[in-house]
Structure 1
Amino acid sequence: MRIAQIAPLSEAVPPKFYGGTERVVSWITEELVRQGHDVTLFASGDSETSAKLAACTPEGLRLLGYRDHTASHLAMLHQVHRRAHEFDILHFHIDLLQYPMFEDLNHKCITTMHGRLDVPDFMPVYKTFTGMPLVSISDNQREPMPPNVNWLSTIHHGLPAQNCPYSPEAKGGYLAFLGRISPEKRPDRAIEMAIRSGTPLKIAAKVDKADQKYWDEVIEPMTHHPLVEYIGEINEDQKKEFLGNALALAFPIDWPEPFGLVMIEAMSAGTPVIAFRNGSVPEVIADGVSGVLCETMDDAVAAVATVKTMSRAGVRRHFETAFTAECMVKKYVAAYEQLLSARDSVIALPGAASFAPHYGEMNGSARPAISIAAMPA
């Protein structure tokens, strides 16, 4: 297939530091190329890929200091629309801006929803542009959405099996907190877990401007405890060692996490996850196998002792069965094929040239329901 991957322009693909969506786009792109597909990646010019790169900005916009990325994304989408005839599939990873511009091309478009979907500001778009085929990254992510959106499939993230070297033992013996300092990520809970259990905690996380006050007033004072070490933002290579040497990943979230990429990154290294039961967490963590699901802080503190007895080989096996890039891309290719099959079946109907399919759940066969929309050849 000829496939366009359209990435956010905030970070390079893959990102130099923090950037979960861009990292997933890289894994999808590289695995599609490995499987023999003709892939073009629309991304920032400092991206690195084995696909054809269509550079839409010189560098990732965050590192360039851009605050508002809307204009750059609109310019990229204009380029994608002009070249749309070159591709069988247009796969978007940029949330909302493509909905009106690509309404005439819904029959070859897929949008993966990478963020939280319970933001009221965005609902007018979801309710208006119902033809765009959507992929959720967890079943839980879908819950706030209107009932008539066009879900194609749920596809959990996956990463290359060799991404984090597997270690049969925790060499560092510390709890790891990785990602972003913010109230919903609850680094304060991770610190409490460490102090109450008497276990060292290392925090590798960035502080966005929006969360600076939270860091200054709440978290930074807590990092002065002798069991707590704040490392700051780390790169991809540093992250592998950071996760691989940890006793467990602390994932004490307090929000409807759409997926939680760091959970499967830890699992790939054989590192179990201590996670609060929110959002996607129960879909990702097999309780007692790849981690411990918690309801309360007492549960989380007790889990620190539990993970010491868990099989890191078992954690790794759970990752290999469900969360590799190969697993993920097989599901995306099936979704692409469903999209194309549904389109072809509608076009084949007498007098159906001006109609486009609305898709049911992916169940091995396309189930198009006819809805009025322009469908160019």
Structure 2
Amino acid sequence: MLKDISERSVTTLHGKLCIPDLVPLFSCFPHSKLISISDNQRTHLKHKNPNFVGTVYHGIPKDMFNFTSKPKGEEPYLAFLGRIAEEKRPDIAIKIAVKAGIPLKIAAKIDKVDVEFWENEVKPLVDQNPELVEYIGEITDSQKGEFLGNARALLFPIDWNEPFGLVLAESMACGTPIVARPCGSVPEVVEEGVTGIIFDTIDEGVEAVKRVHKMDRALVRETFEKRFTSEIMAGNYLKIFEKMLTQTE
């Protein structure tokens, strides 16, 4: 049945596409139309002729997070938000913060598969730097606005080809700039000098977090509204659907 409707359907792929089992799967549905959540995501699908019809970036409701023009507190902190996982590199975030002498707050869950990484690689760094590094655990969506809005910047030192980091859009919605490594979709999502700074080495990351506070937070929010709202996302999907309909008439 799926083969029968494959030419009349479209599927958005959200996960990583380097999984070997995906090749025979897509070979069974050569006419299936696909939507990527970043252009970079496509490059990791090893199928010879994936039928991508467009890229649609994630979007979140415009009013989900309030814009924060100026973080509260005497010394705004760096924020790390997500998972304690090796590919997310919270250890690099800590090393950057400590070397820069800027406080870091880590809001992240620890899955069972990542407990060993936390115990061996991350927790020792947290314990060694109690004056600068604070692990606050997992937070809810309702807590993200205050956490991100009052941050100097979001640290996103990932070490894998992430298709789209939703936290990047969430940070921009708050007006908080991003300091990130150029992995996966980061160069597509983060506009250098506009919504954040992209770095390669720890030393470059240190320099970035020292000057990121000079960025225009209003411009960060404005860019979010132009690129990553749910309305923009829905509109981009509709454009693809309408194009597909005209091609089948």
- Name the TM-score class by shorter chain: over 0.9
Q: Is the 8 A contact 1:107 1:339 kept in 2?
A: no
Q: Which residue of 2 aligns with 1:123?
A: 23
Q: Aligned partners of 1:338, 1:258: CA distance in 2, in Å?
A: 24
By relative contact order (CA 8 Å, sep 6+), the higher-ranking structure is 2
TM-score (normalizing by structure 1): 0.63
Q: Aligned partners of 1:200, 1:144: CA distance in 2, in Å?
A: 36
Q: Aligned partners of 2:54, 2:232: CA distance in 1, in Å?
A: 14
Q: Is the 8 A contact 2:16 2:44 kept in 1?
A: no
User: What's the secondary structure of 2:64's corresponding residue?
Assistant: coil
Q: Which of these residues, 85, 88, 92, is aligned with residue 182 of structure 1? A: 85
TM-score (normalizing by structure 2): 0.94
Unaligned runs of 5+ in 2: none
Q: Aligned partners of 2:13, 2:41: CA distance in 1, in Å?
A: 9
Q: Aligned partners of 2:172, 2:211: CA distance in 1, in Å?
A: 16
- 1:156 maps onto 2:90 in alignment: no
Q: Is the 8 A contact 1:108 1:340 kept in 2?
A: no
Amino acid of the structure 2 residue aligned with 1:275: A
User: What's the secondary structure of 1:308's corresponding residue?
Assistant: helix
TM-fit CA distance, 1:278:
0.8
- 1:197 maps onto 2:97 in alignment: no
Q: Aligned partners of 1:112, 1:216: CA distance in 2, in Å?
A: 36
Amino acid of the structure 1 residue aligned with 2:180: A
TM-fit CA distance, 1:130:
1.7
User: What's the secondary structure of 2:241's corresponding residue?
Assistant: helix
Q: Which residue of 2 aligns with 1:165?
A: 66
Q: Is the 8 A contact 1:271 1:315 kept in 2?
A: yes
Amino acid of the structure 2 residue aligned with 1:237: S
TM-fit CA distance, 1:294:
0.5
Flag the structure with higher helix content.
2
User: What's the secondary structure of 1:247's corresponding residue?
Assistant: strand
Q: Is the 8 A contact 2:30 2:51 kept in 1?
A: yes
Q: Identity of aligned pairs, percent? A: 50
User: What's the secondary structure of 2:214's corresponding residue?
Assistant: coil
Q: Which of these residues, 188, 203, 223, is aligned with residue 283 of structure 1? A: 188
Q: Aligned partners of 1:108, 1:246: CA distance in 2, in Å?
A: 45
For residues 181-239 of structure 1, what are the alpha-carbon distances to aligned partners after superposition, in whole Å with 9 as ceiling and x for unaligned?
Answer: 11110000110111011111111111111111111111112111121111111111111
Structure 1 residues 107 and 130: alpha-carbon distance in aligned structure 2, compared to 1, 3 A threshold: closer
User: What's the secondary structure of 2:35's corresponding residue?
Assistant: strand
Q: Is the 8 A contact 2:6 2:29 kept in 1?
A: no
For residues 292-324 of structure 1, what are the alpha-carbon distances to aligned partners after superposition, in whole Å with 9 as ceiling and x for unaligned?
Answer: 010111111001111111110111111111111
Q: Which contiguous aligned blocks of 4+ residues in structure 1 show a shift greater than 4 angstroms? A: none
Q: Which of these residues, 127, 131, 139, is aligned with residue 39 of structure 2? A: 139
Amino acid of the structure 2 residue aligned with 1:263: L
TM-fit CA distance, 1:334:
1.2
TM-fit CA distance, 1:341:
2.5
Task: Count matched residues.
Answer: 244
- 1:249 maps onto 2:149 in alignment: no
Unaligned runs of 5+ in 1: 1-100, 346-377
Q: Is the 8 A contact 1:274 1:300 kept in 2?
A: yes
- 1:295 maps onto 2:200 in alignment: yes
TM-fit CA distance, 1:149:
1.3
